[in-house]
Structure 1
Amino acid sequence: MISRLPFKRALAVLASTVVLAACSSVPQSPSSSEALGGKPNFNGVWEMLDMAKVVRPEQGTPPYTPEAAKLAAEFKSWDPKKDDPSLYCDLKGMPWMMLSRARTYPAEIYQTAERVDVFFELFDTSRSIRVNGKPAPKNISPSINGYSTATWDNDTLVIKTTALAERLYPSPQIRSEKAELTERWKMVKDPKEGDLIEIDFEIVDPVVYTRPVKGKQVFKRAAPDVVVASYNCPEKLWLKHVDDRRAQGKAAAK
């Protein structure tokens, strides 16, 4: 005899079956130190520890070149509320994706012995770090997060990032294609917070800075119920465009 479930219940059963099948096919990141070659385990969901501990290259009085100084000065003359780049889904990329001061936007790290992937809720972006020490391929196209490769210095993950797309326009965050980033990730134990990832940056960009500049971030593990969700920034831009078009239509009809 064929059982006939109510339509809504049948859909719920089907949905749960699909979810279970999907979950069973998703690879799980290794949780043991042995699976990671005895190296620190960065797997999990992380968030900024303290805004005051974040250091960004544009803070204070950066050693800008004349070209970069003009761009920074032009942006400062604009309205900081109306001209906030985040309102336009401006994808800053590296190093700023790792130097976010927004505690409410977590990041998830998926680590294996061969690579480290970071998934950011902010702007729905990600970066891949290849743990092989090889330089970027010669034919790689510049991108906002560039090409990252890493090696281990004892228990410190040293990451080199190149092939970054330029940002030579008025903005608080300026970068040229000659930029090269070095990150040093170190796992430390805090008696209050538990696991922390301390990340020190050095940014070399001869088009933007007259000397190397520094950056700093400290991540703490997020609460167990925190997940990396979706930011949906482009949708907000489209809805604003829809509102503007409707307003124009109403004005034209008068």
Structure 2
Amino acid sequence: MRRGWALFSIGLALLAGPACVQAQDNEIVPAPTAAQWAAIADLPDFSGTWLPDIGDQKRQEQGPDSPPWKPDVQKQVDHWFAEEDAGRPRGLLVDCLPHGMPSLMLITHNAIEFLVTPGRVTVLGEVDGNRLRRIHTDGRSMPEDPDPSFDGYSVGHWEGDALMVETTAILPQTYLAVSEAVGIPSNGGMTVSERIHLIAPDTMAVDMEITAPELLTRPWKTRRIYNRSRDRIDEIQEGVCRQGDFHEDTDEYGNAIYVPTTSSDDGNLLPPGS
């Protein structure tokens, strides 16, 4: 009973104050109160590092649970699967650009972390460039015309022990991907609904419904599984996508710096001094 009342109180706190709930981009979001910080303790425990179940991802690539591609899109998908089978995988994520949504939750092979704070859940992803996704839980409605981005604009709320999230304003160049080699740009209009919840003390399910009118014949419902680790070895590490394009040197004053590494005509990095 205490837990139910606490969750109800959180909802009232987040929904209080119309200026906050319907806040526009030029309005100030007030600092959280001590009571709102204390209420976090009554939400589900999403702490720790979450590792994706890669086998679960592979099961969704092809077969009855794969996306309901439109016929012309299916031909593209088949082509990229054939290229991968022939040893020529395309590599969707080799250009230093973010995974974007929903690929961050669908096909990431790296750890993610959830930071639950009053009015927001922040998702950190370990990969070159360190991913950052914000889910607003302060009661705001979806903006009428949000600026498109790789991860889109996410608005969420708690329903019992589940975090319910709606995401829109995803860039048309962002992939709807089933693997790191097979995916098609959304071409606009893609939205994602999520139910993020624990199905065991250290197992999280991310249930997604993905609508992509340019790619799919109907919304695609799928689930991804993440397993919690509290081992220090699994904590998220810094990733810098282009660090390998530079080498260590010193400037004219003896300061330690990075300088660009030269490349050969075919694009391969050359060792310093070449």
> What is the TM-score of this pair, normalised by structure 1?
0.69
Give the number of the structure whose residues are more often helix, by fraction. Answer: 1
Of 216, 221, 237 in structure 2, the residue corresponding to residue 229 of structure 1 is 237
Q: List runs of 5+ in structure 1 lacking aligned partners.
A: 1-29
CA-to-aligned-CA distance 1:4-42 (integer Å, 9 cap, x gap): xxxxxxxxxxxxxxxxxxxxxxxxxx9x99531622121
Query: Quick one: distance in 1 between partners of 2:197 and 2:267?
Result: 52
Query: Quick one: distance in 1 between partners of 2:56 and 2:207?
Result: 11
Kept after mapping to 2: 8 A contact 1:55/1:99: no
For this pair of structures, how many residues does the alignment match? 212
Of 52, 59, 62 in structure 1, the residue corresponding to residue 62 of structure 2 is 59
Provide the residue aligned with 2:40 in structure 1.
36
Moved more, 85-94 or 109-118: 85-94
Query: Quick one: distance in 2 between partners of 1:133 and 1:58?
Result: 35
Provide the residue aligned with 1:117 in structure 2.
122
Identical aligned residues as a percent: 26
> Is 1:162 paired with 2:168?
yes
Superposed displacement of residue 221, structure 1: 1.8
Residues 82, 219 of structure 1: alpha-carbon distance in 2 compared, 3 angstrom cutoff = closer
Query: Quick one: distance in 2 between partners of 1:146 and 1:181?
Result: 9
Superposed displacement of residue 222, structure 1: 1.6
Q: How does 1:101-180 map to 2 (within 5 A)?
A: 102=109, 105-123=110-128, 124-167=130-173, 172-174=182-184, 175-180=186-191
Moved more, 164-173 or 216-225: 164-173
Query: Quick one: distance in 2 between partners of 1:55 and 1:180?
Result: 23
Residues 76, 132 of structure 1: alpha-carbon distance in 2 compared, 3 angstrom cutoff = same
Residues 74, 96 of structure 1: alpha-carbon distance in 2 compared, 3 angstrom cutoff = same
Query: Quick one: distance in 2 between partners of 1:218 and 1:120?
Result: 15
Superposed displacement of residue 133, structure 1: 4.7
AA aligned to 2:196 is: W
Kept after mapping to 2: 8 A contact 1:71/1:168: no
Of 219, 227, 243 in structure 1, the residue corresponding to residue 263 of structure 2 is 243
Kept after mapping to 1: 8 A contact 2:48/2:230: no
SS at match of 2:218: coil
Residues 76, 217 of structure 1: alpha-carbon distance in 2 compared, 3 angstrom cutoff = closer
Query: Quick one: distance in 2 between partners of 1:167 and 1:71?
Result: 16
